[in-house]
Amino acid sequence: MSTPLVQLTFALQSFDDSMSAAMSHAMEYEKLSLKANAAHNITLQCVLPDGANESDVISLSATQPSARGAQYFTEKTLSNADLESGTVNLTLSNITQSQCFVVQMMLHGKNTTLKESQQLDVYIKAFEQGYIPEQIKTEHTKSQGVRSYFASMGSTFLSLF
């Protein structure tokens, strides 16, 4: 069973619509809540604006409110197929812990000019204990230890003469 994708858009809702106008007070304070899947990923579907072009870059970053750099980041260069579908799926990977983030979606055009930007507060819930990166173990084999021992003994012996 797959979870439905959360859809993000650059456009603000129109307040000409009576339902949107009535819900504006709730949207202002409501925080989006996302849960990581068993692979410790969160996939968001980003709706492309009308001004998007082929080879533009769309990015998604999640930053802790008190941090300077993004803890999670992903980007994709838009293709013609993306423009035809009107949406792009972006995945934030290796979710380590549950906490609040400021999520920013940006669209950059030629020469990295900012075309569109959207920012929202999101509570991200990690899957179980969260992603734990594997530690790379550096083990010295016994043959390397013996080899280095004889090499050092040989150099010590030669240095005496």
Domain of 14, CATH number, reads: 2.60.40.10
d(CA 7, CA 12): 13
> Could you tell me if residue 161 is inside a domain?
no
- Using only C-alpha atoms, what is the Rg of the chain? 25
> Could you tell me if residue 160 is inside a domain?
no
> Could you tell me if residue 135 is inside a domain?
yes
8 Å CB contact between 48 and 87: yes
C-alpha closest to that of 86 among 62, 58, 60 = 58
Domain assignment of residue 28, given as a range: 6-155
Domain count, the chain: 1
Percent of the chain topping pLDDT 90: 34
Q: What pLDDT, on the 0 to 100 scale, is given for residue 1?
A: 39
d(CA 9, CA 68): 24
pTM of the model: 0.68
> Could you tell me if residue 145 is inside a domain?
yes
Q: What pLDDT, on the 0 to 100 scale, is given for residue 111?
A: 85
Q: Which helix (H) or strand (E) holds 22?
A: helix 18-29
pLDDT over 50 (residue 16): yes
Q: What pLDDT, on the 0 to 100 scale, is given for residue 52?
A: 92
35-63 pLDDT tens trace: 888 888 999 999 999 889 999 999 999 99
Q: 84 φ, ψ to 5°?
A: -65, -40
Q: What pLDDT, on the 0 to 100 scale, is given for residue 27?
A: 45
Mean pLDDT of the chain: 79
Q: What is the mean pLDDT of residues 3-16?
A: 67
The residues with which 8 forms a beta bridge, in sequence order, are 46
